[in-house]
Structure 1
Amino acid sequence: MYNTILVPVDGSPTSGSAVAEAGKLALMCSAHVHLLHVLDMTAYTNGFEQAEVYFRDIKPHAIKAAEDMLARSRSLLEASNVVVDTDLRENLDGRVASVIVERAASLGADVIVMGTHGRRGFERMMMGSDAELVARTSPVPVLLVKQKQ
């Protein structure tokens, strides 16, 4: 049914729920899980840092945090005997959703499993929804997972 499952992760509890769900699906289908983190440096900066500080301190710290988060998710899946690899991409000029959809297509993913924060109203209008944009533009099915209560 599914051979390659793409799982975008951001370290949130909702993302953790998506990883767990993808692990179950991978075991049922004997599928390979591809964990993806899209590093959006705008979350780490305010735009007023000196370039040397950004490249010496801020960016390496962000990359290390992203690598650690991917390693934790990978370990959880490997503990369940799921075949998994990781991918860290930097978002340079667009929405995170666009990077996710592009990676799904280039990997030949059969399905994307990702968490949704369930934002509504004003918060959704202001922040947007990467999960919704992925679901609308993905070339493959998308399984949206809510955080476990």
Structure 2
Amino acid sequence: MRGKEQLVYLRILVPIDGSAASARAVEEAIRLARPLKSRVRLLHAIDELSVAQASYARDGLDDLRAEAARLLFRCADRVRRARVEVDTVLYDEVDRTVASLVADEAKRWQADLIVAGTHGRRGLGQVLLGSCAERIVRGSAVPVMLVHATAKEVVPVVG
């Protein structure tokens, strides 16, 4: 937050990945932003795993960028239809973690809050895949709200 006296979140950063959890985070950001006339920034990062999987295809990275742009467009459209000001940012820096990109963007943009989805993995799934949401919380200088969606829950990316 820019000042300790500030009690509202005027800039809400929402990292999205196309999952049900990130769709829930977008909806929560809308719910928070609308009455406060806050601005939402949607961030998507193309990570190393995606690039590694796509590298087998001839136009792999270009395809990933195109899909990321479509995801950002759909989610931004959802936010706009809720009458909330929104913009987007796309990162394809595979040499950095998503969590570090989110932390840097929050600082650069002077975000007041990060709203992130969490998949709620436990046990072996969390150990093997790690928790991007946990790393965002640990690396953030601003408050982070985690929005949970279970594996059974089906939430559309666009409403």
Output the TM-score relative to the length of structure 1: 0.90
Task: Return the match for 2:82 from 66, 80, 83.
Answer: 80
Q: Aligned partners of 1:48 and 1:65: how far apart in 2?
A: 15
> Please, what is the CA RMSD of the aligned residues?
1.7
How far off is 1:48 after superposition? Answer: 6.8
Task: Return the match for 2:109 from 107, 112, 130.
Answer: 107
> Partner residue of 1:133?
135
* Contact in 1 for aligned 2:55/2:61 (Cα 8 Å): no
> Partner residue of 2:49?
42
1:14-59 deviation per Cα after TM superposition (whole angstroms, max 9, x unaligned): 1100000000101122100000001115324348748xx3xxx111
Q: Aligned partners of 2:43 and 2:144: how far apart in 1?
A: 15
> Partner residue of 2:27?
20
Q: Aligned partners of 2:18 and 2:132: how far apart in 1?
A: 15
Out of 37-46 and 120-129, give the one that drifted further. 37-46
Structure 1 stretches lacking a partner, 5+ long: none
Answering whether residue 120 of structure 2 is matched by residue 118 of structure 1, we say yes
* Contact in 2 for aligned 1:18/1:145 (Cα 8 Å): yes
> Partner residue of 2:147?
145
Structure 2 stretches lacking a partner, 5+ long: 1-7, 154-159
> Partner residue of 2:18?
11
Task: Return the match for 2:66 from 64, 67, 70.
Answer: 64
Out of 113-122 and 35-44, give the one that drifted further. 35-44
Identity over aligned residues, as a percent?
39
Task: Return the match for 2:37 from 14, 30, 34.
Answer: 30
* Contact in 2 for aligned 1:115/1:147 (Cα 8 Å): yes
Q: Aligned partners of 2:87 and 2:99: how far apart in 1?
A: 20
Q: Which has the higher helix share?
A: 1
